[in-house]
Structure 1
Amino acid sequence: MTAAPSALTSLESARLAVAALAEGGVRHVIVCPGSRSAPLAYALAEAESRGAVTLHVRIDERDAGFTALGLALATGRPAAIVTTSGTAVGELLPAVMEANHAGVPLVVLSADRPEELRGTGANQTTDQTALFGTHVRHCADLQAGTDPVPELRRALLAAEGIVAADGHPGPGTAGMGGMGGVSVQVGPCGPVHVNLAFRDPLVPEPGDRLPSAGPDDAGRTGSADHPAPVDGSGPAEREGSRPLALPDLAERRTVVVAGHGAGPVAEAFARAHRLPLLAEPSSNARFGPHAVGPYRLLLNPFGDLIERVVVFGRPTLSRPVARLLDRADLPAALYVPEPVGWFTPGRRRERVVEELDDLSLFAGTGPAGWLEAWTRAGHAAAAAVDAAILDADRLNGPSAARAVWEAAAGNLLLGSSNAIRDADLAGVPAAAPAARVFANRGLAGIDGTLATATGIALGAGPGARTTALIGDVTFLHDAGGLLLGDGEPEPDLDIVVLNDAGGAIFSTLEHGGIAESGRYGRTVERLFGTPHRVRMNRLAAAYGVAHVRVDTPEDLRAALASRGRGRRIVEVAIDRTGVRELHRRIAAAVQEAVPASATRSASPAGPDPAAVPAAAAGQGAQRIHSGSQPGT
């Protein structure tokens, strides 16, 4: 087949594409080496020499995708990833899936063979159109030689949730406005995919070159800005700053559940309405006087007393909370001020509420004794947890998570599996947050966690320290994320690895009972525990990363206090053989410390609700501003 004459050369098309990215607010681009994507690589190098973008080079596309995800999370702006054709594009699927469910603006630019080579058996050629299916907000396949700007503008708008009324992203400029009068609707942020075909030649013309007074040989200037991150992690912080005025509200025994991405508005709402706050670590609402630390262990004694539930963000961590939200007899409301991508409308049981005023009427205010009973029980439960997990000589998952939670400042990434659950159990709510907490809870996988942490640290900019708390299986799954090419910027990142020589989370689930029964021999240990003997100090040395091993709580606290520059692995040696029994002891200790009788003061037969001064119901109402962060 003879190629049709092209209006644009491959490099001309690539330069237009890169200009559209910069115009649309993309400041960080991850580039993976490849031949077919070479025009984009050269065009990006030229753009970096002008300070328009910052490039990061990775050889592993899977890690590249998660690094871009972390950059987008940290900066609040779309981040882009460039790959060549073939399996390289498929490697991005895990990161695209996470970005879809977490609502993260991720821009995938995949290079492809031209139309005349498709279906011919040409090397590295497959059908890349619509490769990511329903996981992207927008996808486009551009023929070689065409102007990519209009389609990239549509894609960038779609990544930030701007879609024309006919279902196609509007054509205006690449910013949030510029729709030229076209009717638009706002949807959830998320990933987009633009597939760009290129014909030979794929290299610059002989006369092309980078500016001689520009960057070094690596093409690095570091001049692209590091914008301030978006406060919070969810949509609640981005609506208007109108304060919530509390009318005369009914008294109800309501609880506020703050899931992933809820943001500080959940804390302010709970405080204004005198309600207990049950906040997951990555809610960024786990602070203030109403936050109850080991809340999931208190849902049994308090369960029958709860009259209503208000949900901010996406709860994902614990079965007790899931059971609470599944109760058909319990009215529940889900605050969704902006569209989100993590659930399909009509598929959840809760009443969806878009306005804080309506949510306030639904929730009411806590009657006398309600909040106080939760607070007393929370303190007693926390003391019981401490007695079970804190040992002067030995570390375990919850005690290590407690130490990391207390020491973290700047950014904190919590890995899936046990790490985030240990922090949820043992992390004591502070008066005000010291760290912004991240977690890949879109699909709650362990994939790409080190790369995500790296992206967050790079996006945070100079002077900001990032800490990641992860398990050893999560660490080994993404060990390739430690690789940084020579000359690539090294983030300030502490990677705290809870090393128990395998996977412990399954022992706390039903599989732990199967293991205890002995009916399947060592099957559970082999298939779910996945034991290993990796020497992490040698792995760290191979990648040129500093390493320190700690065995006692004192050693861990000292290591966390000695923050430096660059990357460091803090290996925490723990034993997982007793994890199931440890959680039994914790549950038993809390049950003894907080028996059902302890909730008596919160019951309808408790203190007279009329004893609560009328002013108390409105206390803190003026503190609810969806754009504020109380205490920060």
Structure 2
Amino acid sequence: MQNETLTLNTHRLISGLIAQGVHQFVISPGSRSTPVALLIAERVQQQPALRLFVDVDERSAAFFALGMAKTQQVPVALVCTSGTAAAEYLPALAEARLLHIPLIVLTTDRPLELTNIGAPQAIDQTELYGKQVKQSQRLELQQPGTTNADFIAFQSQRSVLTAMALPRGPIQLNLPLRKPLLPDLGVTPPQIKTVTVPQATVALAPTALTELAGQLQGKRVLLIAGPEEDSAYRATLLALSQKCHWPLLADSLANLRGRGAVISNFDLLFQARTTLPAALQPDVIIRFGSTPVSAPLMTWLEQQTVPLYLVGAQRQMADYSRATTHVLAADEQLLLAELLAVMPAQDATYLANWQQYAQRLQTKLTVPTELNEVTSVQVLDRLLPATSRLFISNSMPIRDVEDFYSGQAVRELYCNRGANGIDGVVSTAAGMATLGGANYLLIGDLALFHDMNGLMMLRRYQLPLTIVVINNNGGGIFSFLPQAAATDYFEDLFGTPQALDLAQVAALYQRSYQKVTTLVEFEQALQMQVQFIEVISQRADNLQLHRRLVSCLKQELSGDD
């Protein structure tokens, strides 16, 4: 072999990742990453269970990998060349860190003698991502010797295990490489010693469980399910809420709406009222999942003095309302199953009160008669197939889904609610679409503009994704914020109209396209599986529509104590 040490150690690195469950790789091409990229490609060709995606835009690639890891709940590996290419991963890694998504980032690098000395395409990549990753480690793939070889095999496995350990998160492996970079192909990978880690769960101590059950007995318990990070406990949470007649306020991203004792669209109630009527006020609150989308709900929580239990080994007291009084750092599924076994059925009056209010809210919602940003969500709720997936952009789309999506069918909803940015949305949704089946993306024109490069992955890999673009020619959410009063500067600084020709965007990436202006046209476009649907909206009209709805709800609920 001409490049034996590099070839065999790179194989050991790849084998270690595969051994611990990394079966999908996203590569952004470059020179310095040549040995890693080539040997991954060779391994994928030899092992059908592995998948390789190539994305030339590093920022898009990172969000694409994020979308796969997020929706499949598995670790995914990223590979890039040296220099600013590695820096492009940072936005997606910040999202992954906050939402506990396991990404394994392989940043190839210039060797020490070419760092900080004026060499081209070289930046200091040591701990490049700072606190946005759980751990950063350097591996020397070209250093000979059995001790280093064994360390590479061990550390690559350890990195995946660290990424998957609670709280999950991204890991960086920095790989300085000297020329020659071309590995030997056709070489049988060396055997490595694999590490076995049995699955373990964190349970409450029996005395703590007994005490918790006693605290909940006979109380008006309000369950809150924020955005879901783990689907394993979904059914058990529903079963507990139904058995105990505890109302469950389900975030749109909790994937629970439309079932059991779930209360949907509650954000509208908290927009209409800063305090709850006495009939809805809880004695105890239990929170699951990550931070809810509803800012009014979080504002209401800030005012509460009742006990609030924050559940989950990944939560780390991530509660900006600071209402948490008890942390239950236990496995959600195990805790819920234990509570389900020991808790008797409770009085149903409290749940009935909440359901009555939920019904009153529903009767005041706009019945779709014309196409706008609100009714677009209602149409998606009514027409998207059961078991389909809907990715939602941040800014106005996720807020409208939170308010007007009721869950008329069982679907999976996703959104990047860690850092809440509008960058990388298309690429993340494309990563979701690697699962196949029926996939949809609801996005605004500015978020689309931020990540149009992500559309190339749909074209390159023929991924099934229907994109619905709400085009209000700018940043619609700013019309709802105090900045709107700065009328002399508003359009330039906040409205930021781009005047995009979305038909041309769709044509560039070979997507079938239709602009719709009526409900009938929108429904027909969805039924005909048009790939790129443009919904026209006016920001000023959308603001007034939302204000009228909230005003109507305030009037409806004004007489309640």
Deviations 1:482-509 (A, max 9, x none): 11398x4211111111111111112223
Of 368, 385, 407 in structure 1, the residue corresponding to residue 383 of structure 2 is: 407
Q: Which moved more, 1:546-555 or 1:140-149?
A: 140-149
* Aligned equivalent of 2:359: 379
* Aligned equivalent of 1:170: none
Per the TM alignment, residue 36 of structure 1 is displaced from its structure 2 partner at its CA by 0.4
Deviations 1:563-592 (A, max 9, x none): 37xxx2111112211222212211122223
For the 8 Å contact 2:430–2:458, the answer to whether it is kept is no
Of 428, 436, 443 in structure 1, the residue corresponding to residue 412 of structure 2 is: 436
Please give the secondary structure, in 2, of the residue aligned with 1:484: helix
Counterparts of residues 139-538 of structure 1 (less than 5 Å):
139-146=136-143, 147=149, 148-161=152-165, 187-205=166-184, 208=185, 250-261=217-228, 263=231, 264=234, 265-299=236-270, 300=273, 302=276, 304=278, 305-336=281-312, 338-340=313-315, 343=318, 349-353=324-328, 354=330, 355-356=335-336, 367-387=347-367, 390-391=368-369, 394-409=370-385, 410-430=388-408, 433-458=409-434, 460-461=435-436, 464-484=437-457, 488-512=460-484, 514=485, 520-538=486-504
Per the TM alignment, residue 528 of structure 1 is displaced from its structure 2 partner at its CA by 1.4
Deviations 1:1-55 (A, max 9, x none): xxxxx99533333222222222221111111110000001110111011025211
* Aligned equivalent of 1:25: 21
For the 8 Å contact 1:472–1:499, the answer to whether it is kept is yes
Could you tell me which amino acid in structure 1 is paired with residue 310 of structure 2?
L
Identical counterparts, % of pairs: 30
Per the TM alignment, residue 364 of structure 1 is displaced from its structure 2 partner at its CA by 9.5
Please give the secondary structure, in 1, of the residue aligned with 2:249: strand
* Aligned equivalent of 2:11: 15
**Long gaps (5+) in structure 1:** 1-5, 162-186, 212-234, 515-519, 600-632
Structure 1 residues 313 and 236 mapped into 2: Cα distance closer, same or farther (>3 Å)? farther
Could you tell me which amino acid in structure 2 is paired with residue 579 of structure 1?
N
Deviations 1:524-568 (A, max 9, x none): 23211111211001011112222121111111122222237xxx2
* Aligned equivalent of 1:605: none
Please give the secondary structure, in 2, of the residue aligned with 1:386: coil
Please give the secondary structure, in 2, of the residue aligned with 1:446: coil
* Aligned equivalent of 2:556: 593
* Aligned equivalent of 2:35: 39
C-alpha distance in 2 between matches for 1:348 and 1:594: 26
Structure 1 residues 482 and 319 mapped into 2: Cα distance closer, same or farther (>3 Å)? same
Of 89, 98, 102 in structure 2, the residue corresponding to residue 101 of structure 1 is: 98
Q: TM-score normalized by structure 2? A: 0.85
Please give the secondary structure, in 2, of the residue aligned with 1:82: strand
Per the TM alignment, residue 303 of structure 1 is displaced from its structure 2 partner at its CA by 5.1
Structure 1 residues 41 and 471 mapped into 2: Cα distance closer, same or farther (>3 Å)? same
C-alpha distance in 2 between matches for 1:320 and 1:267: 24
For the 8 Å contact 1:254–1:366, the answer to whether it is kept is no
Per the TM alignment, residue 77 of structure 1 is displaced from its structure 2 partner at its CA by 1.4
Could you tell me which amino acid in structure 2 is paired with residue 374 of structure 1?
W
Per the TM alignment, residue 340 of structure 1 is displaced from its structure 2 partner at its CA by 3.9
For the 8 Å contact 1:139–1:155, the answer to whether it is kept is no
Q: Which has the higher contact order (CA 8 A, sep 6+)?
A: 1
For the 8 Å contact 1:114–1:144, the answer to whether it is kept is no
C-alpha distance in 2 between matches for 1:339 and 1:316: 15
* Aligned equivalent of 2:146: none
Q: TM-score normalized by structure 1? A: 0.76
Per the TM alignment, residue 475 of structure 1 is displaced from its structure 2 partner at its CA by 0.9
Please give the secondary structure, in 2, of the residue aligned with 1:203: coil
Could you tell me which amino acid in structure 1 is paired with residue 160 of structure 2?
L
* Aligned equivalent of 1:618: none
Structure 1 residues 363 and 191 mapped into 2: Cα distance closer, same or farther (>3 Å)? farther
* Aligned equivalent of 2:69: 72
Structure 1 residues 457 and 357 mapped into 2: Cα distance closer, same or farther (>3 Å)? closer
Deviations 1:375-418 (A, max 9, x none): 1221121121124xx22xx3221210111123334211111111
Deviations 1:68-105 (A, max 9, x none): 01111232211111000000000000011100011111
Aligned length: 521
For the 8 Å contact 2:107–2:174, the answer to whether it is kept is yes
For the 8 Å contact 2:22–2:76, the answer to whether it is kept is yes
C-alpha distance in 1 between matches for 2:480 and 2:344: 37
For the 8 Å contact 2:266–2:358, the answer to whether it is kept is yes
Structure 1 residues 396 and 237 mapped into 2: Cα distance closer, same or farther (>3 Å)? farther
Please give the secondary structure, in 1, of the residue aligned with 2:463: coil
**Long gaps (5+) in structure 2:** 144-148, 189-198
For the 8 Å contact 1:309–1:363, the answer to whether it is kept is no
For the 8 Å contact 1:81–1:108, the answer to whether it is kept is yes
C-alpha distance in 2 between matches for 1:88 and 1:238: 39
For the 8 Å contact 1:260–1:282, the answer to whether it is kept is yes
C-alpha distance in 1 between matches for 2:337 and 2:17: 39
Per the TM alignment, residue 191 of structure 1 is displaced from its structure 2 partner at its CA by 0.4
C-alpha distance in 1 between matches for 2:311 and 2:14: 38
C-alpha distance in 2 between matches for 1:539 and 1:83: 27
The structure whose residues are more often helix, as a share, is 2
For the 8 Å contact 1:404–1:469, the answer to whether it is kept is no
C-alpha distance in 2 between matches for 1:256 and 1:102: 21
C-alpha distance in 2 between matches for 1:79 and 1:556: 36
For the 8 Å contact 2:27–2:53, the answer to whether it is kept is yes
For the 8 Å contact 1:67–1:453, the answer to whether it is kept is yes
C-alpha distance in 1 between matches for 2:448 and 2:3: 48
Structure 1 residues 189 and 523 mapped into 2: Cα distance closer, same or farther (>3 Å)? same
Structure 1 residues 363 and 343 mapped into 2: Cα distance closer, same or farther (>3 Å)? farther
Please give the secondary structure, in 2, of the residue aligned with 1:256: strand
C-alpha distance in 1 between matches for 2:491 and 2:202: 46
Please give the secondary structure, in 2, of the residue aligned with 1:49: helix
Alpha-carbon RMSD across the aligned residues, in angstroms, is 3.2
For the 8 Å contact 1:334–1:351, the answer to whether it is kept is yes
C-alpha distance in 1 between matches for 2:557 and 2:298: 21
Structure 1 residues 385 and 247 mapped into 2: Cα distance closer, same or farther (>3 Å)? same
Deviations 1:164-199 (A, max 9, x none): xxxxxxxxxxxxxxxxxxxxxxx3111000001112
C-alpha distance in 1 between matches for 2:338 and 2:34: 53
* Aligned equivalent of 1:628: none
